A = this chain, B = another copy of it.
Amino acid sequence: MTGQVRTVDGRVAGKRGQATRQKLLDCLSEMLSSSPYRDVKVIDVARRAGTSPATFYQYFPDVEGAVLELAEEMAAESGALTELLEGRSWTGRAGWQTAQELVDGFLEFWRRNDAILRVVDLGAAEGDKRFYKLRMKILNSVNSSLAASVAELQSKGRLDKDVNPGAIAGALVAMLAAVASHQKGFSSWGVKQAELKPNLALLVHLGVTGRKPTK
């Protein structure tokens, strides 16, 4: 599937080249965590990697291109989120636990990758197809599982017919993502981290099942 790694000018990258490339990506990732996206400059990334701007341009068309690469890496890992929902039940106490673990796992994933996810979110919101396809890919594992759960409950007549599983799932996932991005905002609103999670789980449970959880 993955063809050979290539430089911008078409050469195939060897061992050394791939190492440099990876180092640049790592440094970019650090820069994204420590300074605003708008201020991340090619020259800073190159300097930090102990190389020159020209080298950066051998491997990436621009900063945006490199970010896409980083996001791609992360998207590959996002499959792990599926485990948060695979084969889980939404009934009774198990349902409450499912909701809690989903919230927990999701927030943790977001926290670990917040810098890149911020940029992906921005790109997606700005309408860049590459970014919102990537965002879809990342969220898809959770989203489609959730939608399936909703659809199943619906088919058993436990939810209204006019509920749209995709819309519900998408909205819940968007909620989780947004809350994860703005946790600081909550704390300055007087809501503590620890209080946040159960309330999110409650909303997720309500959204999926239409009922309060039994705890």
Residue ranges of A at the interface with B (Cβ–Cβ < 8 Å): 36-38, 63-64, 114, 118, 121-128, 132, 135-136, 143, 160, 162-164, 166-168, 170-172, 174-175, 177-179, 181-182, 184-186, 188-191, 195-196, 198-200, 202-203, 206-207, 210, 212
* CA A52 to CA B98, docked complex, whole Å: 58
> B178 and A191: CB pair below 8 A?
no
> A166 and B191: CB pair below 8 A?
yes
Nearest-neighbour CB distance to chain B for A18, whole angstroms, equals: 27
> B179 and A174: CB pair below 8 A?
yes
Number of this chain's copies in the complex: 2
Nearest-neighbour CB distance to chain B for A133, whole angstroms, equals: 8
* Chain B residues within an 8 Å CB radius of A203: 168, 171-172, 203, 206-207
Could you jot down 10 A-B contacts, CB within 8 Å?
Answer: A36-B126, A37-B126, A38-B38, A38-B63, A124-B185, A164-B195, A166-B190, A167-B186, A167-B191, A177-B178
* CA A202 to CA B163, docked complex, whole Å: 9
* Chain B residues within an 8 Å CB radius of A160: 212
CB < 8 Å neighbour of A127 from B122, B164, B184 = B184
> B181 and A125: CB pair below 8 A?
yes
* Chain B residues within an 8 Å CB radius of A167: 186, 191, 195-196, 199-200
CB < 8 Å neighbour of A191 from B121, B170, B172, B188 = B170
* Chain B residues within an 8 Å CB radius of A122: 37, 118, 121-122
* Chain B residues within an 8 Å CB radius of A212: 160, 210
Nearest-neighbour CB distance to chain B for A189, whole angstroms, equals: 6
Q: Which chain B residue has the least Cβ–Cβ distance from A144? A: B189
> A175 and B185: CB pair below 8 A?
no
* CA A63 to CA B64, docked complex, whole Å: 20
Nearest-neighbour CB distance to chain B for A6, whole angstroms, equals: 25
